[in-house]
Structure 1
Amino acid sequence: MPHPERNPFVFSDARFRKFIGSVAAIGAAALVLVGCSPSTDQGGTFADDGCTSVVVATSSEKVNLMEDLGAAFKDSAEHKGLEKCATVHAVNVASGKAAQYLSDSTTEWALGADTAPSVWSPASTVWTNRVASIAGDKVVAGAESFAKTPVVFGMPESMAKALGYPGKPISLKQIHDLIANPDGWGAAGKSMWGSFKIAKTNPNSSTTGMSMLLMQAYAASGKAQDLTVADVKAAEEFSRVFESGAIHYGDTTGKVLQNLADRTSGKGSSYVSAIALEETSLYNYNIGNPDSHTVQPGETLTPPDEKLVAVYPSEGSMWSDNPAVVLDAKWVTPEQKTASAAFVKFLHTKKAQELLPKYGFRPTDDSVDVSKYLNADVGVDPKQPAVTLPQPEPEVVSAAIDQWAAIRKPSAILQLIDISGSMDESIGDGRTRLDGAIEGSTATLGQIRPTDEIGVWAFTTGLSSNIDGTRVNGIGVVRPFGVLGGDKEGLQSDIEDLANSQRAGTPLYDSISSAYDYMKTHAEAGRINAIVVLSDGEDTDSATRLDTLIQKINADQKEGGNDKPVRIFAIAYSKAADVESLEKLARASGGQVFDATDPAKITETFQSVMNNF
């Protein structure tokens, strides 16, 4: 008989109702959310509790939900029917990445045997369909939705009201025209707000990014069903306009939402006007969890100064239908398969379905009342969307993703690579940190188009370069900044030459300051202008102070009408990296920080960074 284990961190209904009641009064004191059991984030091991381990690979916004569902599963009839108890563990893996891993191999899990999943719950059956088309139907046979959430545009409430919200429907065509209009928000009588900027995610790894591409094609075609490859091709110019309004791309909307929450004014106009996201991400933002991270016990959540409201395009929305499936993979044991099947069956029960609204998801069981949690107080209208757009055939999805590669917003990227003495530290397999950095940078060159601009600089004390007629200390120009053209092999060779470079001190702030000044001069409207800085340690040799550098970046970001901002994307490379300083610099610029404190994962981290461009 299974043991009646209980999760001490799971909400009681009364406690959660009290919490949501507090959220409804936006502007109240900071909120305390007692989260679910801590889960592994793409690595680590689980404690052996004597039960069968059911590992669920899922995206970040469902980690807490899966832990709560796992605790409820313990008390279910489905669990009682097992010969041995089972314990559910959630592993945070982006849907697109998990699809890639499963498409590449069902023999070995790319993130290690310790966290190899027996259940996969991506955001959409689009991903299970893609795996089935590559690795075979058997791998994901029986994938069935248990939760759903529509894809919407999240807008600061004041901005949505300027477009007629909530009384007037807002269309993708209307947003398209605002992006295309040189007057931007001026066309809506708000010229002081500048251009209409949107945030979108990379459709190669993000369900939201992929769904929004398809919604754009639907809108351009005037259809609400039966989207074809020809429709996608015909929508190219319509979609190109949407891409031209993107501030940058990324794996998830979480970082963009975190940046928006961090803006001191709480307003979005100078940073972003609308964010393509899932309704559940908007819900999380409004309750104070902008990046939809796994909430830990005792963590304090603070709602934003201004909530986002869900804009359900009048042409219709696609839905992320959140399937769960027992994987047919070599690493899944017969015992795990049995326990996992029982858990997946439980997800469709009334008891499980009633938990979903607490986490911003809509149940597939329409008899469950969601209004207690999903309502206007958190920017949601449970009666919307009025039009549901069906998922097109896999070849239509592929056509849209292929088209995006050609029409996405062009980039101007300056890579700034730390080559100080600490980069000689080993990361295993006979490689140094510098070897890993070189491999990470060169492995992602395939994402750079011939029309993109790129340059590579290295920094350490003792170097000196003539840049735009000025002698700049601490910098070595590895690759002069300019259009790549057809010289991808030459760029790879230039980066590989770093292996023979000298190593000395770490003038981090001076180097970022020089790179920022350079890119500000060379930035172009219509491109994603960015600095990608990799550093494995703290600043040791700069004349520039951190607060002075942040003040300079903040001043530029606050200038109205800036149509060519330079954003900093930082890689914290090793546990010795100055993560706090890198976060401050990235936040000031509207960029992001990426965690490579485990240097062995540097290539994967570089991939995440380059997904923004």
Structure 2
Amino acid sequence: MASAPTRTRKWLPYAASVSAGLVVIAGAVVLGQREATPTGQDRPECTVALEVNSSTEKAALLIELAEGYNDSRRSLPGGGCARVHVSRLNSGEATDALAIGWRGTNLPEPHVWLPTSSLWTGQLRLLDRAAGREPQTPDDYPSIANSPLVIAMPQQKGELVRQQGPLGWGEILGLSGREGWAGFGKPEWGRFTFGKDNPNLSTSGLAATIATYYAAAQRSSDLTRADLADPAVTQFVRRIEANVSHYSDDSVELLRDLAEADLARDGKGSGHMSAMVLQEELVYLYNEGRLSPRRDGQEQGARPRVPLVAVHPKEGTFNLDHPFVVLPSADEQQRAAAADLLAYLTEDAQQERFARLGFRDHERRASAALLASVGAEPPGGLTYFSPPEPEVVKAMLDGWSILRKKANVLIALDTSGSMKAAVGDRTRFQVASTAAGKGLALLNSEDRVGLWSFSSETRRRPDRPYQEEVPLGDFDQKRLTSRIANLHVDGGTALYTTVRAAHQHLVDRYDPERINAVVVLTDGKNEYSPDNDLAKLLADIELNPQRPVKVFCIAFDRDSDFATLDKIAKASSGKAFDATDPTKIDDAFVKLVSSF
């Protein structure tokens, strides 16, 4: 891999120290909800105020548990009691904030931090060291809950794989890819592909990448930078990444879409995707209908017709350990309160609440309900990989940016007259083109990228409503950016015919070694009378498992027909991103590009 081009990696959301090697786009994306939720009532007699910041996936539960803690008025060892307040923030963004003195969050500075994984405490330690200050997270920390990483597969496929006996990461996600399901006696199922979260955005995606490297190195601890440079390791990782259908910025949203498709298509919603790598807790929530569409008044949706089965690779897996971290900002009384809160959270009654969300308990024990839902553990239980050193994680992600699956991306940019509308002191097109330029900067230098413009027939483009501006080919960021800046804005919005043509263009140029995707940026809805049949468009672009081309849409500004764009994206197993608030367009591009 020495000859491979090297690019600066934009690692979102860790916007912190360049010297630590975590090069980022500061403030580019907010993945968690920046909100502080009050817990309980003010109690003057409880004079110790304890601020807790939780990762987003368990924050709602922690807010409820804090209310119970406050209501209990538990006595502290030195007398008095504590009042706990919980706010929520994505683990990566919280790492950022702690590294720069908790600025810019609009949330109270925490005394206790509850990230998804100790991987984040290691990254914060790395940042503190690079900044020349005492580490805020120097220790190992107790867990309040756990969730191992699994390979989740639709039931029939998962049971078939389980019947083969113990299989490893490579045998499940890599070696089977070349001949597909024929290697398991099911050629009619086609190619083996799987989805995973982008490790630059997701804890489970990061954990999946670490697990892959451990499996490649054939060890469960003490992974080194030398291991990462081993040609056999890089070949193993590349082989697995080659079977990725697409990367996701959010596995919860991916599962919500899968649940919706399952219920809408008589249980055929898994489409061409054979597996997903994610935490066990999400498999449970999916199977129980917690991620299914809900009707008014329902606490949860219907259980999917085709549940997921958790498959455990024989080499072992990575555990998301949800550590309880007491920060240096806590004084002596707050540390006593934190110790009491930890004791409270690990009591049976509170652990049962975690179990209802699909978590294992603080000692990694699974409930009977969890195993009944996701599938039994292997005989002898699970084997866990030890977390690598933070420097190794950073090097691993640097390597992943080169080894990950590359993409064929055709960008279709709306140049209709409505893009002249004002957004502050600029036009919609100026805002959109600036965001597109930033998005291009996130692509891999080995991606292949093309650019189309579309509106309706105009004086400058009398023959058809779309035009090839840059042919699909080797990524040339400078050329693409220059061409976007010089596009002419005029005409109506020929959305359907452009999507259909762009999709077919990529089907005809399909590359099985790449992710093949159409990206549509528009501020409107279809205004082209020669082609206004949405049902026909959805049928035309429906995902072909043999040549999967996905459509990703960004709905820009308030006039966009997001509902229709969402249908278009889902028909192809792609995704629509809502930037109807123009200030969110940069975020939308970041999440979109992270899918490649």
Output the TM-score relative to the length of structure 1: 0.79
Against the structure 1 CA distance between its residues 176 and 307, is the aligned structure 2 distance closer, same or farther, given a 3 Å change threshold? closer
Q: 1:206 aligns with which of 184, 187, 202?
A: 202
Against the structure 1 CA distance between its residues 431 and 107, is the aligned structure 2 distance closer, same or farther, given a 3 Å change threshold? farther
Matched with 2:367 is 371
Q: CA–CA distance in 2 between the matches of 1:241 and 1:310?
A: 22
Matched with 2:248 is 250
Matched with 2:541 is 553
TM-aligned CA deviation for residue 63 of structure 1: 3.6
Matched with 2:45 is none
Q: Is the 8 A contact 2:151 2:278 kept in 1?
A: yes
Q: Is the 8 A contact 1:307 1:379 kept in 2?
A: no
TM-aligned CA deviation for residue 121 of structure 1: 3.0
Q: Is the 8 A contact 1:421 1:504 kept in 2?
A: yes
Between 587-596 and 450-459, report the one with greater CA deviation: 450-459
Q: Is the 8 A contact 2:170 2:240 kept in 1?
A: no
- What's the Cα RMSD here? 3.5
Q: CA–CA distance in 1 between the matches of 2:460 and 2:360?
A: 57
Matched with 2:167 is 170
Q: CA–CA distance in 1 between the matches of 2:66 and 2:216?
A: 42
Can you list the C-alpha shifts for 1:331-380, whole angstroms capped at 9, x where unaligned? x99999998887566434444333211111112146xx742431223435
**Match runs of 1:174-323 below 5 Å:** 174-181=171-178, 183-234=179-230, 235-261=233-259, 262-263=261-262, 264-267=265-268, 270-290=271-291, 298-323=298-323
**Match runs of 1:145-156 below 5 Å:** 145-156=143-154
SS at match of 2:249: coil
Matched with 2:494 is 507
Can you list the C-alpha shifts for 1:558-599, whole angstroms capped at 9, x where unaligned? x5x51x311011122234321211111111101112222332
The amino acid of 2:123's aligned partner reads R
SS at match of 1:113: coil
Q: CA–CA distance in 2 between the matches of 1:333 and 1:296?
A: 46
Between 204-213 and 442-451, report the one with greater CA deviation: 442-451
Against the structure 1 CA distance between its residues 45 and 126, is the aligned structure 2 distance closer, same or farther, given a 3 Å change threshold? closer
Matched with 1:482 is 473
- Percent identity, aligned pairs only, is 32
Against the structure 1 CA distance between its residues 347 and 294, is the aligned structure 2 distance closer, same or farther, given a 3 Å change threshold? farther
Which residues of structure 1 form unaligned runs of 5+? Answer: 1-39
Q: 1:129 aligns with which of 122, 125, 130?
A: 122
Q: Is the 8 A contact 1:463 1:475 kept in 2?
A: no
Matched with 1:71 is 67
TM-aligned CA deviation for residue 275 of structure 1: 0.8
Against the structure 1 CA distance between its residues 57 and 434, is the aligned structure 2 distance closer, same or farther, given a 3 Å change threshold? farther
Matched with 2:521 is 534
> Does residue 395 in structure 1 map to residue 375 in structure 2?
no
Matched with 1:517 is 504
Which residues of structure 2 form unaligned runs of 5+? Answer: 1-30, 43-48
Matched with 1:435 is 430
Q: How many residues align?
A: 547
Q: Is the 8 A contact 1:156 1:268 kept in 2?
A: no
Output the TM-score relative to the length of structure 2: 0.82
Q: CA–CA distance in 1 between the matches of 2:376 and 2:413?
A: 43
Q: CA–CA distance in 1 between the matches of 2:303 and 2:63?
A: 23
Against the structure 1 CA distance between its residues 129 and 200, is the aligned structure 2 distance closer, same or farther, given a 3 Å change threshold? same
The amino acid of 1:532's aligned partner reads V
Matched with 2:447 is 452
SS at match of 1:590: coil
TM-aligned CA deviation for residue 101 of structure 1: 5.2
Can you list the C-alpha shifts for 1:532-582, whole angstroms capped at 9, x where unaligned? 11223322234321111001122xx2x5x51x3110111222343212111
Q: 1:494 aligns with which of 480, 483, 500?
A: 483
Against the structure 1 CA distance between its residues 510 and 120, is the aligned structure 2 distance closer, same or farther, given a 3 Å change threshold? farther
SS at match of 1:355: helix
> Does residue 42 in structure 1 map to residue 39 in structure 2?
no
